[in-house]
């Protein structure tokens, strides 16, 4: 009955909260460590000093399982754990060490209510999520694989025909070769265009005027005659649209900074 209760997720959740609370208080204790100890070892030693290894349910369970390999009574978890500790496994087991270091890292990055950003803080950072300039265009594709040496001449002739016939972009797709992703493209940012068509495509497209047939624009696959439908300038998104992302970034950065500050203090001690 007791063993079933100890396996309950609710019990584990409560224990985890208690362990983090204990771990977070460890930063107020003075600990002497060698100056050349790496962060993981430093965090592990802080956990040992705070006694986290004695209360963490994951560590206790791990040591009990390790104790089974030394011939102790399988039905007595306390005895299994005690035997594992007597053999020094609490200090030498890699899994235990890494788990304790991770728990202390979480505690080191613990934030206070005062760390929460205000709307004014977030508003200054909407530029980090600026939506880049985009372009929406229709293409008529001339495949280099299909036209070979005549690709340039065929593209020039097709461009003249499109202009002379005043062909609307909605009716032009069948004039060229089939393209894998279709004739209508965008709105797409420069980086997306270069990934899709090859390096340099976006900068070449930038010279094409809107509302007329232009080109040819070279890609990795051949030539493209383009009708630019719309160019959309870069814009910063409204705060409400990106609030969640900005809050997450803010808190992650603050947590990392707090962790480094607390590690520096602990290392200095």
**pLDDT at res. 17:** 47
Q: pLDDT tens digit string along 116-125?
A: 898 898 988 8
The third-level CATH classification (topology) of the domain covering 134-232 is: Chitinase A; domain 3 (3.10.50)
* Degrees to nearest 5, angle at CA 97 with 94 and 101: 140
With a cut of 90, say whether residue 66 has pLDDT above it: no
Query: What is the predicted pLDDT for the residue at 33?
Result: 46
How much is the average pLDDT of 66-86? 77
H or E stretch at 185:
strand 184-189
Q: Which of 21-35, 70-84, 123-137 has the lowest mean pLDDT?
A: 21-35
**pTM for the model:** 0.54
- Distance between CA atoms of residues 91 and 48, nearest Å: 9
Judge whether residue 211 has pLDDT over 80: yes
- Which carries the bigger pLDDT value, residue 202 or residue 48? 202
Instruction: Find the helix packing angle between 239-268 and 39-50, rounded to 10°.
Output: 80
Task: Scan for tokens 């797709």, then name that residue.
Answer: 173
User: Residue holding tokens 């990392």?
Assistant: 256
Q: How far apart are alpha carbons 180 and 165 in whole angstroms?
A: 26
Q: Where are the domains of the chain?
A: 2-108, 134-232
pLDDT digits (tens, 9 = 90+) for 151-199: 999 999 999 999 888 888 888 888 889 998 889 998 999 999 999 999 9
The whole-number average pLDDT for the span 107-118 is 88
- Banded pLDDT at 38 (limits 50, 70, 90): confident
Question: CA-to-CA distance for 202 and 186, rounded, in angstroms?
Answer: 12
End-to-end C-alpha distance for the chain, whole angstroms: 45
């Amino acid at each position: 009955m007791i063993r079933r209760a100890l396996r309950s997720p609710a019990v584990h959740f409560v224990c985890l909260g208690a362990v983090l609370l204990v771990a977070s208080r460890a930063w107020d204790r003075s600990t002497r460590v060698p100056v050349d100890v790496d962060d993981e070892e430093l965090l592990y030693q802080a956990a040992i000093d705070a006694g986290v290894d004695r209360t963490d349910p994951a560590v206790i369970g791990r040591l009990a399982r390790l104790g089974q390999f030394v011939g102790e009574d399988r039905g007595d978890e306390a005895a299994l754990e005690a035997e594992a500790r007597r053999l020094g496994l609490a200090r030498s087991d890699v899994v235990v060490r890494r788990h304790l270091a991770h728990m202390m890292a979480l505690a080191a990055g613990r934030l206070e209510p005062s760390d929460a950003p205000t709307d004014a803080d977030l508003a200054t950072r909407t530029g980090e999520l600026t939506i880049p300039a985009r372009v929406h265009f229709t293409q008529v594709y001339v495949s280099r694989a299909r036209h070979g040496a005549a690709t340039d001449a065929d593209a020039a002739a097709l461009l003249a025909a499109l202009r002379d016939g005043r062909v609307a972009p909605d009716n032009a797709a069948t004039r060229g070769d089939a393209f894998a992703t279709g004739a209508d493209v965008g709105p797409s940012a420069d980086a997306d265009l270069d990934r899709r068509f090859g390096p340099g495509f976006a900068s070449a497209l930038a010279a094409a005027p809107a509302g007329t047939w232009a080109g040819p624009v070279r890609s990795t696959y051949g030539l493209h005659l383009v009708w630019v439908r719309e160019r959309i300038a870069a814009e910063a998104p409204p705060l409400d649209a990106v609030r969640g992302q900005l809050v997450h970034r803010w808190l992650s950065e603050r947590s990392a900074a707090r962790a480094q500050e607390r590690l520096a203090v602990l290392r200095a001690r």
